[in-house]
Amino acid sequence: MRAFLTMAANRAVDEYAIKTCGIPGSLLMQNAGDAVVQQMMNLGYLNNSPEVLVLAGHGNNGGDGYVIAAGLLKQGTSVSIISTSTPDGLKGDALTHYNKLNDLDISVASWEDSETQRNQIMEADYIVDALLGTGISGDIRSPYDVLIRLANNSQASCIAVDVPSGVTGDQGKVLDPCIHAELTVSMGFGKQGCLFEPARSHSGTVIPVDIGFPTDSLDHANGEVLRQNDGVDYSKTKYSRLSQTHKYTAGKVYIIAGSQGFTGAALLASTAALRSGAGLVRLAIPESLGPIAEAHSLETVVDYLSETEDHGIALSAWSDLQKGITWSDTVVVGPGLGRHAETIEIVKQIVKETTQPLVIDADALFALNEDPSILHSRLGPSVLTPHAGEFKRLLNSPDDYKPSWQDAQKFAKDYGVSLLLKGAPSLIAGPSGEIIVNSTGYAGMATAGSGDVLSGVIASLWSQWMDEPDILNFAMYIHGKAAELNRPHKGVLGLIASDIVEALPVALKEYGEIPT
């Protein structure tokens, strides 16, 4: 998991390394610049002899830029520098690395706002944004506002050093203007602001890199550490299947879902569970909708439940539901369930009386709005999967309120549950307060049924690996990965939820093999 810190905590880590551990700031700056060059090489930015322009500020971010320019020249790349400062305005480590450029064949010019310099910005292949860094406060002043706008209007792709210039704070805030980066190389640890919108959209791909901070640095960082998952966190050996596995030991999922007009939600959840490897999936659905479910899923076992007059699940179905729940390893309740008073009572009974791991989604969340304290009655582990609107209702917050990771953390701790807050990005808050931010997914997932698919994936993987502590965030990761696999041919606008279901086998292809 990659650690992301507040801006202040990142500065505290830097200070700890330099003042307490005695690591020279100039060495950390050298390491930082070298790491940016290495990432540019790794990602193919230096192929085809590009023209690279470094925009350097007057502080340490600019010093990183001088190191980057020297490193690019060493790699045979054509590079030049435009600085917002004259040499007389530099000091400390930035001046040290500026002076090292004297013997190198690099054009270094102070910003004069000339037509030649404007053309230089507009015609570069890549721009390295080493202007402002993490210490920014207040408005974007001249000449930074001009340089940022020119960089954004250039044909060049921007690579940001630490954070895009204009990103400020820890909640995704940006100033106007703000660099639109394709890549952000973050020093030591990620910056929390880059995880959240609108800064997330300005940051592009964010890669934290090691620059030589002490191994105990996180012990000296004040503030909450957020962690972002990555594919390397989920090894194939964790999620493997023994040779003697059969359908009754490969995970039994019970999905309580569906009402008139929303049979599709139930089918998406059940098919997603099957496509994620569950050995058996039973779908409990109002009896009038059972034939539809059977016609559309050959592999799902359908339980016909007594129903209300508007074809939701009736309270009289409780004894049948108890049998199905007892049979299962994990339970999903909510997709397309409806909000009939009897159905709401059924949800409350499930929450209070079941011991199986429980995924609470969609309309089942509505049943908790008036009294989420019934979650204290849970006899087994739970994960709630609200989107922002559903979570606002759980919090009893106004419509214009934007729930934060702090809200998710507090709710999870208060009620002893896991809470997966769906969004851009999605994140999970665990009952002990840990936060995992998802690294997969994209805007195409803003489509009806995507959350129903997620519920099925969670229940399926949870039923197979109940004792794996990372299983919930693994499910979140796989759901987003399956969506991403569609992007090359479905784009942003053409993705639908069933596309995510169909891509699940590919997203999970490297998992499940018998360990050798």
HEC profile for 78-94?
EEEEEECCCHHHCCHHH
pLDDT reported for residue 515 = 67
Q: pLDDT per residue over 458-471, tens digit each?
A: 999 999 999 999 99
Entry pTM = 0.93
pLDDT reported for residue 431 = 97
What tokens does 447 get?
A: 């489509």
One-letter identity of residue 190: G
| Mean confidence (pLDDT) of the chain | 95
Q: pLDDT per residue over 393-451, tens digit each?
A: 999 999 889 999 999 999 999 999 999 999 999 999 999 999 999 999 999 999 999 99
8 A C-beta contact, residue 223 and residue 5: yes
3-state secondary structure of 511: coil
pLDDT reported for residue 221 = 85
Encode 302-355 in three state secondary structure: EEEECECCCCCECHHHHHHHHHHHHHCCEEEECCCCCCCHHHHHHHHHHHHHCC
Question: Is the predicted pLDDT of residue 185 greater than 70, yes or no?
Answer: yes
| Among the ranges given (36-40, 84-88, 121-125, 190-194), the one the predictor scored with the smallest mean pLDDT | 84-88
Positive or negative CA dihedral for 488, 498, 428, 465? negative
| Among the ranges given (32-36, 170-174, 281-285, 389-393), the one the predictor scored with the smallest mean pLDDT | 170-174
One-letter identity of residue 467: D
Question: Is the predicted pLDDT of residue 135 greater than 80, yes or no?
Answer: no
Domains of the chain: 2-222 (3.40.50.10260), 252-387+440-507 (3.40.1190.20)
pLDDT reported for residue 260 = 95
Q: pLDDT per residue over 89-111, tens digit each?
A: 899 999 999 999 998 989 999 99
CA separation (Å) from 502 to 349, 499, 515? 33, 5, 26
The closest of 185, 167, 187, 184 to 176, measured between CA atoms, is 167
Mean pLDDT of 49-72: 96
Determine phi and psi for 387, rounding to 5 degrees. Answer: -85, 180
Q: How far apart are CA 516 and CA 513, in angstroms?
A: 9
Q: How far apart are CA 166 and CA 173, in angstroms?
A: 9
Mean pLDDT of 131-149: 91
Mean pLDDT of 207-236: 93
Residues in a beta bridge with 174: 167
Q: pLDDT per residue over 113-127, tens digit each?
A: 999 999 999 999 999
pLDDT band at 36 (very low <50, low <70, confident <90, very high): very high
pLDDT reported for residue 513 = 87
- Alpha helices (runs of H) in 80-198, residue ranges in sequence order: 92-99, 115-123, 144-153
pLDDT band at 516 (very low <50, low <70, confident <90, very high): low
Mean pLDDT of 299-318: 96
